Structure 1
Amino acid sequence: MKKLRPTSLQWQLVRRLMLLQGATLFAFVGLIWLVLFLLEPRLLSDNETAVEAVAGAVSRDANGTLVLRDTKEMLEARQNYPNLWLVVRDEAGKTLRLGNIPDAYAAEELKIPWRVEYAFLRFPVYDVRPDSILANRQTAAGAVQILTSTILSRTETNGVDVTFQLSLDGTRSADGQIEWMKVGPTVALIIVAFLAPFFIVMGVTTLVVTPTVVRRALAGLVATARHAGRIDIDNRGVQLPTANVPTEIEPMVQAFNNALSRLGQGYDQRNRFLTDAAHELRTPIAILRTRAELLREDPESARLLKDIERLSHLAQQLLDRQVLDQSAGAREVVDLVEFARHLAADFAPLVLSAGYDFSFEPAASSVLVNIQPSQIQQAVTNLLRNAIDHGGGEGIISVVVDAKGGLEIHDEGPGIPDDEHERVFQPFYRLRPRNSGAGLGLNLAREIARLHGGGVEILVGPWHGARIRLQLPLWQGQAALVGGKSDLARRGS
């Protein structure tokens, strides 16, 4: 079964927001279209307002002359548009003029056919002559043709005049009704073309802005995830912060914190049990050793004492493994060269009595490391015991210290196969099942090094035997000194 890839919450939110915006826009446009279809509103420009006011005010006096009555709409038009001018003409050719009519409209030959019911008269954009409007209207004076404008020249406008005009017409049937089956696809294309810029702008804005907004909204959750990534077996008391976590996620974070607490308590209980068990084993083992030593000397007694020693060593390693999780004293800045020299001197008799030669190769100068001495001593002791047990009983065992904070143990035994380099660090794993080791020495050494920020590795090379390196981080002052010497060496080269 194919494993499903996890989806990004951020992009889920972005996609859904875009779909929501698109649906909202479609619904909004559809609602506007419905309102326009039902109410048929009409927005009037200044000139159109003036036309309606004039049409309502045109009348005739007793002599049949065209006149303008002072209607409310006409008075407001004159007040709002002080430059209002107009020409009213009836079918008999009688005219009514009002205002300062521009020369372009004052000529007598400006006769617009009566068949033109409604028209906007405009000049090119570079022309300052004013636009006007022409409309045929049924008034109290009969049918008249009204030509009017609210400005004398385009120079009189303030700023920008914006005019929106939408005219829609299409195929009609014999009775004058629009044939929507033919017009519909074109209208739909017009709507899509009208909405496309909005969708493009909204889509680009959503893709650019929304990820940033969502990322900031999820910043607290991302920080909590990074915090969770730092939790390990040696840092169990850490609790995930909930200050900046979204309310919807907070219960899950709280449940995770509670689970961490329960796991920590269970781990501590298990450690206490194993520590107590290791302590309890030491007493009967000591009694057993004492009684075995009272036996008469023969091969069986010697083998029994060897087995008891192995059992005692195993119990001690178990105890040492458990106390790693507990504080073993403050760290100290120690010269690794002198520290290793003292350990080598202490172990020299044991190495020599096992049939090996022994050498110590120090660095040229002091190597300062910040360590807990008793724990590092325990790690080095385990590495030396491993070399004694698996070095083949001949050759040289060497302790080497270099300027980078490394301490290596070399032997000339059969070595460790490449494919076993990681497995030998597993607890209770023994490369040769019949040997006397318990399979905890290398594991314990690596755990101690890891707690110090270092590590233990098996080196690979053309030499004969095994070389195991304990790497410790240099003290800050020593690291700066080593770095400065490296820079000088590079410049010199």
Structure 2
Amino acid sequence: MAAGRSLRRTLTTRLLLWQLAALLTIALSSVFFFYYIEDYTGAKFDLDISEILADGLVAEGGALRIEDTQDLAEVRRSSPGLWYVVVDEFGRRVVGGEVPPQMNSLLDGLADIESLEVLGSTSDFDGAMLFEEDSRVGDVKVMFGGGARPSWIAGMLSFAGREVGPLFVLLVAVLGGLTMLVVPQVVRASLSSLRAVERVASRIDIEQRGVRLPSDEVPSEVAALVDAINAALSRLDDGYAEKQRFLSDAAHELRTPIAILLNRLELSRKGEFDHRVLMDVHRLANLAEQLLDLQRIEHQETAPQPVEMVALSRNVMANLAPLAIAAGYDPVFDTEVESLVVLGDASSLERGLINLVQNAIIHAGGEGEILLTVHADRSIAISDSGPGIPADRRDWIFEPFHRIKPMNEGSGLGLSLVKEIIRRHNGSISVGRSDNGGAKFLVRFSKGNEAASASGAARKVGGPREGTDRLDTSEPPLRSTRREPPN
């Protein structure tokens, strides 16, 4: 999702722009006030004259001389009464034009004067200006007068550049820097309550319902948005609860008539037709169980207990062996270890293995072995001799209601349910190709998911999950082997 504009950056930028606008207004007002209202002396002169004179200054034979540059020629043409005196730091002097006698007393001390404005009070003397300039011969003092009065635009620009410009730049630098430093901190402090809302919102998911965003400390401008989000979360929770009730009720409603039909078919089973009907009813029963399992997983709050997976796996294969044999398979149980203990819920793990074995019974083609193996590396494999699963479909089979075969074979919920069960036990499940060319589902439990005592776990496993339909397994036709773990 693309990130929106930063509120802190937006406020900082806008405040800085408003400060620049305010400073610019102040600068223009200052120019207008001093240039016109206070009759600034520099308004009578072209203030660029001092720079033009300094730029043309050269030293020859120990004396100063001003070259006749194009700019100086233009100034002399527009200001025929121009006079000037330029003095360097060594006291060398160059004079041009007719210096008014009123300025003679100042000529000897020009080197010690930094800047000067002289106001004229007679018609033949309109004042003078003195500036310190950089030149090719070093710092010099330039005093001039008698120049033509510039246009008001040129005069204001010249005055602004010399008198107001430096101060304006300084104010912009200082206030702009303070704005960039202070405003983000002020905005961050003002929006600190939103970070608490963000932390709560990041914890909301499908398994953490009922959480609401805090709205007590948020700004009033945001409180309405937070309240609207909380109202939306309430509607979502209500809709989710209604959906869960529907699924649970539907599963329970399906379970009872399916169990009755299954018992009647078991008692009256006579031929191949009855066998196919029996398999269909088993699939319906499995679908009802899967729907109920979804509800159990969503609402399961029991603490994890040690579960002995070798005994549990052997029990699953023993219970499903009659169904596998009836479907044409040879069920085999194999183990490399005497005990494999994980922490979790025995009934959920049992249902996960049942779904994997039943998936093999349904999809493996009705012949060959169905092998359940407990490995020494804390993994359990269920493999068959069927057609297998195409490599390009293996990432999809764990999605809910995804089927490789037609609609009449399986519900598409079993593998999704298995994946969720294994995920909740900090494990992983993958599918590949078995040694016989069929499918091989491999469940791995992490090293962290293990109990300290295998014997204690074996005592806690107990019998099968209550409510699971069991076949008669007093003498299960199951081949079981025991192998040593590989070196």
Q: Do the two structures share a fold, i.e. TM-score over 0.5?
A: yes
Residue 289 (1) aligns with residue 266 (2)? no
CA RMSD of aligned residues (A): 4.3
Match of 2:19 in 1: 21
Mapped contact 1:368–1:475 kept (Cα < 8 A) = no
Match of 1:356 in 2: 330
Match of 1:184 in 2: 156
Shift of 1:269: 1.4
Structure 1 or 2, whichever has the larger Rg, is 1
Instruction: Flag the 1:197–1:453 CA change in 2: closer, same or farther, 3 A.
Output: farther
The CA deviation string for residues 142-173 of structure 1, in whole angstroms up to 9 with x for no partner, is xxxxxxxxxxxxxxxxxxxxxxxxx9998865
Residue 313 (1) aligns with residue 311 (2)? no
How far, CA to CA, are the matches of 1:20 and 1:35 in structure 2?
A: 22
Q: Which has the higher contact order (CA 8 A, sep 6+)?
A: 2
Match of 1:465 in 2: 438
How far, CA to CA, are the matches of 1:241 and 1:335 in structure 2?
A: 44
Between Structure 1 and Structure 2, the one with more strand by share is 2
Mapped contact 1:331–1:372 kept (Cα < 8 A) = yes
Mapped contact 1:328–1:372 kept (Cα < 8 A) = no
Mapped contact 2:193–2:218 kept (Cα < 8 A) = yes
Match of 2:350 in 1: 377
How far, CA to CA, are the matches of 1:240 and 1:31 in structure 2?
A: 51
Mapped contact 1:369–1:473 kept (Cα < 8 A) = no
DSSP 3-state at the match of 2:372: strand
How far, CA to CA, are the matches of 1:225 and 1:416 in structure 2?
A: 43
Match of 1:427 in 2: 400
DSSP 3-state at the match of 1:248: helix
Q: Tell me the amino acid that sits aligned with residue 437 of structure 1.
A: G
Residue 398 (1) aligns with residue 372 (2)? yes
DSSP 3-state at the match of 1:239: coil
Shift of 1:417: 1.5
Q: Tell me the amino acid that sits aligned with residue 430 of structure 1.
A: R
Mapped contact 1:415–1:465 kept (Cα < 8 A) = yes
> TM-score, normalising length from structure 2?
0.62
Shift of 1:452: 3.8
Shift of 1:441: 0.7
> TM-score, normalising length from structure 1?
0.61
Shift of 1:428: 2.5
How far, CA to CA, are the matches of 1:315 and 1:178 in structure 2?
A: 98
The CA deviation string for residues 310-349 of structure 1, in whole angstroms up to 9 with x for no partner, is 2222222222223322236332133545544554555556
Instruction: Flag the 1:326–1:434 CA change in 2: closer, same or farther, 3 A.
Output: closer
Mapped contact 2:314–2:333 kept (Cα < 8 A) = no
Instruction: Flag the 1:328–1:407 CA change in 2: closer, same or farther, 3 A.
Output: farther
Instruction: Flag the 1:474–1:232 CA change in 2: closer, same or farther, 3 A.
Output: farther
1:389 counterpart (341, 346, 362): 362
Mapped contact 1:344–1:360 kept (Cα < 8 A) = no
Structure 2: runs of 5+ lacking an equivalent? 41-100, 122-141, 453-487
Among all aligned residue pairs of Structure 1 and Structure 2, give the percentage whose two residues are the same amino acid: 35
Mapped contact 1:446–1:456 kept (Cα < 8 A) = yes
Q: Tell me the amino acid that sits aligned with residue 317 of structure 1.
A: Q
How far, CA to CA, are the matches of 1:397 and 1:179 in structure 2?
A: 102
Instruction: Flag the 1:391–1:22 CA change in 2: closer, same or farther, 3 A.
Output: same
DSSP 3-state at the match of 1:234: coil
Q: Tell me the amino acid that sits aligned with residue 255 of structure 2.
A: R
How far, CA to CA, are the matches of 1:26 and 1:366 in structure 2?
A: 83
Shift of 1:442: 0.3
Shift of 1:433: 0.8
DSSP 3-state at the match of 1:456: strand
Shift of 1:281: 1.8
Match of 2:6 in 1: 8
DSSP 3-state at the match of 1:407: strand
Match of 1:154 in 2: none
